[in-house]
Amino acid sequence: MDFENNSSKTDHVMTQGKSTTKSRCKIVAVDGPAASGKSSVCSAVCSKLGWNYVNTGFLYRAVAYITRQEGIDLADDSALKVLLSKFSDSLRWEPDTGKVFVGDLDITDHLYTDIAGQDASRVAKNSIVRELLLPLQRRLGTQSKYGAIVDGRDIGTVVFPDADLKVFMTASLDVRAQRRFHQLESNGQTGSQEDFDAIKASIAKRDIQDSARGEAPLKQADDALTFDTSDMNSEEAIAALVELISTKLKL
């Protein structure tokens, strides 16, 4: 499996009936299961490369939070459409601080919890939500001058099928559960064997839910490279991804 090393990709844009060709920044699509290290590794790699980092999981987490807050039934398509049409304009994400705002409201702290991940996975099964988040994800991905890493579950298969490089980042279930456990432990939030078992079960449940859904399931794109971080610490994973991107894209 190998990749083309195009110096730039082009998007065809229709303007008043005429097709124009606009070049876009480099896009690296990173997909993979929950807690595989995508967000920490990809954001650090983007800082090193001076690229934009787009974490699409935040969008699903934010929509889940807002639908819950507003009491919107996920089966109510018209209510979802109204909510999401406002959401795209009011959502703001500060790459420097990682904070997420809807209008002036900082909702960041509501997005990091395990419940938020489970809620997001439930919301992500909805085809209207996926369809309405698609243009927003593409816009965020192509905003950078040089390049962007966009991470999620369907980035290489649906959002950017023409990405310059596709990576499927994974790690064993045990390793992913250990990392999430240590993360929570360091925040003083957990500590027992039962907590670990619950975390592991929750990650496994989300893997199944994301892979089994009909709409844009979590799956490795045919032309994606597997990037297994099970035996790497975070510095090693960051260095390896920088190396992979630099080599494949001839940076």
Residues contributing to the site for ligand C5P (CB under 6 A): 34, 56-57, 60-61, 117, 120-121, 124, 152-155, 206, 210
Q: Residue 63 corresponds to which tokens in the numbers above?
A: 């929509």
* All residues at 6 or more sequence positions from 66 whose CB lies less than 8 Å from its CB, including other chains: 72, 83, 87, 102, 107
Q: Which of 69, 65, 57, 61 is nearest to 31 (CA)?
A: 57
How far apart CA 198 and CA 192 sit, in angstroms, is: 10
Q: How far is the CB of 31 from ligand C5P (least distance, A)?
A: 7
Of 164 and 210, the one with the shorter C-beta distance to ligand C5P is: 210
Judged by beta carbon, residue 49 or residue 158, the one nearer ligand C5P is: 158
User: Shortest gap between Cβ of 129 and ligand C5P (angstroms)?
Assistant: 9
Residue (153 or 200) nearer to ligand C5P, CB: 153
Give, in order, the Cα–Cα distances in Å from 234 to each of 38, 44, 231.
Answer: 10, 10, 10
- Look up residue 45 and give its two tokens: 């790699």
d(CA 213, CA 121): 10
CB of 17 to ligand C5P, least distance (A): 32
Residues 6+ apart with CB under 8 A from 192: none
Q: β-pairing, 18-24 with 165-170?
A: unpaired
| Cβ proximity to ligand C5P, 3 vs 112, nearer residue | 112
Nearest CB to ligand C5P, comparing residues 49 and 150: 150
Minimum distance of ligand C5P from residue 121's CB (angstroms): 4
Q: How far is the CB of 247 from ligand C5P (least distance, A)?
A: 25
